Structure 1
Amino acid sequence: MSDREATLRDLAATLREHDAVSDAFIAKSFTDQQLILDLADGDSLPPDLADLLADHDLRGANEVYGNGRTDPSFAGDLEGATRHQFVDTRTRGDHQSYVVD
């Protein structure tokens, strides 16, 4: 595990302790590492968490990928929560996606 991945895993653990957070974990897209944040239903992203994520070079996936959504991180509704995706801009494009023939 890289130092960066360990840092993001630690951050996810810290985020899970916040009252507004239902779950937090890291994941990989095709070429990017992401931090996924599930917020309790009805909660918006608290400013202190937004600042913490930005301090760790994590930006909303909608903003990074320029998909036109107004919320920079909203990814969808879950039962009892909303999902938000953040891209690790520090390592963006560094991950390899494998294709199986």
Structure 2
Amino acid sequence: MTDREATLEDLAARLREREAVSDAFLAKSFTDRLLVLDLEDGTALPAEIRDLLADHDLRGANEVYGNERDDPSLAGDLSDATRHQFVDTRTRGDHQSYVVD
């Protein structure tokens, strides 16, 4: 595990302790590392969490990928939560994706 990955794993663990957060975990999308954040149903993303993520160079996936959505991080609704995705812009493009020959 790299230092960066350990830092983001620690951040995800701290976010899981927050009242509005159902889950937080790292994932990979092609060549990018993502921090996925599930918020309890009906809860808006608190500004202090968005600021904390920005301080760690994590930006909303919609914003980073140029998706035309009102919310820069909203990925969709789950049965009892809303999912937000944030791209690790510090290491963007550094992760090898799986290639099928």
TM-score w.r.t. length of structure 2? 0.98
Q: Equivalents in 2 of 1:97, 1:39: separation in Å?
A: 28
Structure 1 vs Structure 2 CA RMSD:
0.6
Aligned to 2:92: 92
Match of 2:30 in 1: 30
Q: Please name the residue that 2:7 is paired with.
A: 7
Uncovered stretches (5+) of structure 1, i.e. residues with no partner: none
- Aligned counterpart, 2:77: 77
Measure the CA separation in 1 of the matches of 2:88 and 2:64: 10
Name the counterpart of 2:16. Answer: 16
Structure 2 letter corresponding to 1:76: G
Q: What secondary structure does 2:48 align onto? A: helix
In structure 2, list runs of 5 or more residues that go unmatched.
Answer: none
- Residues 33-75 of structure 1 deviation map (CA, whole Å, 9 limit, x = unaligned): 0000000000010011011000000000000000111100000
Distance 1:45 1:36 in 2: 12
Aligned equivalents of 2:75, 2:98: Cα separation in 1: 24
**Runs of 4+ in structure 1 displaced over 4 angstroms?**
none
**Which one-letter code corresponds to 2:59 in the other structure?**
R
Does the residue aligned with 1:69 lie in a helix, a strand or coil? coil
Identity score, percent: 79
Name the aligned partner's letter for residue 41 of structure 2: D
Query: 2-side partners of 1:5 and 1:78: how far apart?
Result: 26
* Counterpart AA for 1:37: L
TM-score, reference length from structure 1: 0.98
Count matched residues: 101
Q: SS of the residue aligned with 2:75? A: strand
Give the equivalent residue in structure 2 for 1:49: 49
